[in-house]
């Protein structure tokens, strides 16, 4: 079964780059705090417009606050939108009993306020 693995709650989109090949660029600090890994599939939930879509993660500069949607995904968001970034993992019910998802809350500059 798939379970919640990690989440970055109410991050602010810092850029939308149509010219990049695809993905979401995330500040390395946000990746570490949420447990979200390089190339991991994530679901993006745009609070402003209701869009829900999947992409994969690439690493951004540590401490930059970067949350940048790239390629086709850039058409689904606008700079300044609030998004929830969710990663899931496949595991058995037994494995999940010993697992706690990492949920990260950020401020308007994507700085961690609670992890």
Residue 34: predicted pLDDT: 98
In three-state secondary structure terms, 82 is strand
Is 100 assigned a catalytic role? no
Q: Across-strand partners of 6?
A: 87, 102
Return the structure tokens found at 34. 């949420």
Quick one: which of 85, 11, 12, 7 has its CA closest to 45? Answer: 85
Choosing from 5, 20, 34, 56, which is the catalytic residue? Answer: 56
First to last CA, the chain: 25
| Model pTM score | 0.94
Choosing from 5, 20, 23, 96, which is the catalytic residue? Answer: 23
Q: How far apart are CA 13 and CA 65, in angstroms?
A: 9
Residue 21: predicted pLDDT: 78
Q: Which residue ranges of the chain lie beneath pLDDT 70?
A: none
What phi and psi values does residue 76 have, to the nearest 5 degrees? -95, -5
Is 5 assigned a catalytic role? no
């Amino acid at each position: 079964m798939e379970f919640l693995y990690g989440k970055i709650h109410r991050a602010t989109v810092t850029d939308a780059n149509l010219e990049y090949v695809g993905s979401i660029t995330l500040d390395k600090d946000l990746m570490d705090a949420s447990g979200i890994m390089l190339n991991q599939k994530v679901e993006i939930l745009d609070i402003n417009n209701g869009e829900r879509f999947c992409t994969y993660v690439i690493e951004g500069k540590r401490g930059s606050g970067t949350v940048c949607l790239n390629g086709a995904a850039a058409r689904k968001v606008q700079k300044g939108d609030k998004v929830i970034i969710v990663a899931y993992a496949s595991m058995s019910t037994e494995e999940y009993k010993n697992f706690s998802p990492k949920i990260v809350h950020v401020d308007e500059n994507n700085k961690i306020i609670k992890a």
